[in-house]
Chains A and B, each alone.
Chain A
Amino acid sequence: MTNVVATNQTILVVGGGISGMTAALEAAECGKDVILIEKNPSLGGRVAQLYKYFPKMCFPTCGMEINLRRIKSNRRLRILTLTEVTSVTGDTGNYSVTLKLSPRYVNENCTACGACANAVTAEFDNEYNYGLNKRKSAYLPFAMAYPQRYVIDSRIIGTEEASKAKAACPVNAIDLDMQVQELKITVGAIIWATGWKPYDANKIQPYGYDRIPNVITSVEFERMADPLGPTGGKLLRPSDQKEAKNIAFIQCAGSRDRNYLKHCSRMCCTATLKQTTYIREKYGDEGKANIYYIDIRAIDRFEDLYQKVKQDPTVTFIKSKVASITQDKSTGNPILNGVNTEGYQRYSTPYDLVVLAVGMEPSVDFTQLPINITLNESGFIEFDPKNGGQFAAGCASDALDVNRAVQHATASSLRAIQVINKVAGAEA
Chain B
Amino acid sequence: MSQAVEKYRNTFLREVEANVEEGQWVKMCMQCGVCSGSCPLGPHWEHPPQEIFMMIRANKREEVLTSSSMWFCTSCYNCIARCPRELPITHIMHGLAHYAQRQGLAPKELPTAKFAKRFWDNLLKKGRVNELQLGLQLYFMNGLAEGIKTSLKMQKVGLGMLKTKRMDPMEALGGHGCKDIKGLKAALNKAKQIEETKAAKALERLQSKS
Binding site for B on A (CB under 8 A): 206, 252, 256-259, 294, 319-324, 337-341, 344, 346
B-chain residues with CB within 8 Å of residue A256 when the two chains form the complex: 84
Contact status B37-A324, CB under 8 Å: yes
Note all chain A residues with C-beta closer than 8 A to B50: 339, 341, 344
Ranked nearest first, the 9 interchain pairs of A and B with the lowest CB-CB distance are A323-B37, A338-B37, A321-B32, A257-B84, A339-B36, A321-B34, A323-B38, A339-B33, A294-B32
Known contacts A344-B47, A344-B48, A344-B51: A338-B86 contact under CB 8 Å: no
Per the bound structure, the CA–CA distance linking A322 and B86 in Å amounts to: 16
Q: Is B167 an interface residue when CB atoms closer than 8 A count as contact?
A: no
- Partner among A206, A337, A341 whose Cβ is within 8 Å of the Cβ of B82: A206
Q: Which residues of B contact A320 (CB under 8 A)?
A: 32-33, 37
Known: A256-B84, A258-B84, A339-B50. A294 touches B30 (CB 8 A): yes
- Taking CB atoms, residues of chain A closer than 8 Å to B84 are 252, 256-259, 321
Which chain A residues lie closer than 8 Å to B85 at the CB level? 258
Query: Considering only CB atoms and an 8 Å cut-off, how many residues of chain B contact the other chain?
Result: 19
Separation of A294 and B32 alpha carbons in the complex (Å): 5
User: Within the complex, what minimum Cβ distance (angstroms) separates A94 from chain B?
Assistant: 45
A252–B34 Cα distance when bound, in Å, is 12
A250 CB → nearest B CB, Å: 11
Interface centre among A252, A259, A294, A321 (most CB of B within 10 A): A321
Q: Which of B33, B38, B43 contacts A324 (CB 8 A)?
A: B38
* Chain A residues in 8 Å Cβ range of B88: none
User: Is B42 interfacial (CB-CB < 8 Å)?
Assistant: yes
The CA-CA distance from A323 to B85 in the complex, in Å, is 14
Given known contacts A341-B32, A346-B43, A323 and B86 CB-to-CB distance under 8 angstroms:
no
* 13 extra A-B contacts, CB within 8 A, seeds A258-B85, A344-B33: A258-B84, A294-B30, A294-B31, A294-B32, A320-B33, A321-B33, A322-B37, A323-B37, A338-B33, A339-B50, A344-B50, A344-B51, A346-B42
Nearest opposing residue in chain A for B47, CB measure: A344
Other-chain contact of A337, B37, B47, B51 (Cβ < 8 Å): B37
A339 and B86 contact, CB distance less than 8 A: no
Which residues in B have their C-beta under 8 angstroms from that of A259?
81-82, 84, 86
Question: A339 and B42: CB pair below 8 A?
Answer: yes
A selection of 14 A-B contacts at a CB cut-off of 8 Å is: A252-B84, A256-B84, A258-B85, A294-B30, A319-B31, A321-B37, A321-B84, A323-B82, A338-B36, A344-B33, A344-B36, A344-B47, A344-B48, A344-B50
With a CB–CB cut-off of 8 A, which chain B residues contact A321? 32-34, 37, 84
A267 to B47, CA, bound (A): 34
Cβ contact within 8 Å between A258 and B86: yes
Q: Which residues does chain B contribute within 8 Å of A252, judged by CB atoms?
A: 32, 84
Name the A residues within 8 Å of B36 (CB-CB).
323, 338-339, 344, 346
Q: Are A340 and B82 in contact (CB under 8 A)?
A: no
> What residues of chain B have their CB less than 8 Å away from a CB belonging to chain A?
30-34, 36-38, 42-43, 47-48, 50-51, 81-82, 84-86
* Complex Cα gap A146–B10 (Å): 66
- Measured between beta carbons, the chain B residues less than 8 angstroms from A206 are 38, 82
Instruction: Specify which chain A residues have a CB less than 8 angstroms from the CB of B37 in the assembled complex.
Output: 320-324, 337-339, 346
The minimal Cβ–Cβ distance linking B168 to chain A, given in whole angstroms, is 43
Residues of A within 8 Å of B30, CB to CB, are: 294
* A341, B31: Cβ atoms closer than 8 Å: yes
Report the minimal beta-carbon distance from A296 to chain B, rounded to whole angstroms: 13
* Closest-CB distance, B72 to chain A (whole angstroms): 14
Q: How many angstroms from the CA of A52 to the CA of B187 in the assembled complex? A: 68
Which B-chain residue is minimally distant from A336 (CB atoms)? B37
Asked whether, in the complex, the Cβ of A323 is within 8 Å of the Cβ of B48, the reply is no
* CA A324 to CA B48, docked complex, whole Å: 16
Contacts of A337 in B (CB 8 A): 37
Question: Which A residues are in CB contact (< 8 Å) with B38?
Answer: 206, 323-324
The listed residue with most A CB atoms (<10 A of its CB), out of B36, B37, B47, B50, is B37
Please, which residue of chain A has its CB at the minimum distance from the CB of B78? A323
CB proximity of A330 to chain B, nearest CB, Å = 23
Chain A, Cβ-Cβ closest to B31: A341
Give complex CA distance A421, B194 in Å. 68
Closest to B87 in A: A258
Expressed in whole angstroms, the Cα–Cα distance for A324 and B85 within the complex equals: 17
User: What's the nearest-Cβ distance from chain B to residue A256, in Å?
Assistant: 6
Q: How far is the CA of A346 from the CA of B45 in the complex (A)?
A: 11
CA–CA, A16 and B48, complex, Å: 49
A257 CB contacts on chain B under 8 angstroms = 84
B56 to chain A, nearest CB (A): 15
Considering the chains assembled together, what is the distance between the CA atoms of A255 and B42 in angstroms?
25
* Chain B residue nearest to A344 in the complex (CB): B51
Q: How far is the CA of A230 from the CA of B51 in the complex (A)?
A: 44
In the complex, the chain B residue whose C-beta lies closest to that of A338 is B37
Contact between chains at B86 and A340 (CB < 8 Å): no
B157 CB to nearest A CB, Å: 34
- B93 CB to nearest chain A CB (Å): 16
- Measured CB to CB, the nearest residue on chain B to A294 is B32
List chain B residues, Cβ under 8 A from A340.
33
CB contacts (< 8 Å) of B42 on chain A: these are: 339, 346
A259 to B82, CA, bound (A): 7
Most chain A CB within a 10 A radius of its CB, from B32, B34, B81: B32
The residues of A that contact B32 with a CB separation of less than 8 Å are 252, 294, 320-321, 341
Rounded to whole angstroms, the CA-CA distance of A252 and B32 in the bound complex is 10
In the complex, chain B residues whose CB is within 8 Å of the CB of A319: 31, 33
- Min Cβ gap B105→A in Å is 22
Q: How far is the CB of A334 from chain B (nearest CB, A)?
A: 15
Residue among A256, A259, A320, A323 with max Cβ neighbours from chain B (10 Å): A323
Residues in B whose Cβ lies below 8 Å from that of A322: 34, 37
Cα-based distance from A339 to B51 in the complex (angstroms): 10
CA distance A258 to B42 in the complex (A): 23
Chain B residue at minimal CB-CB distance from A343: B51
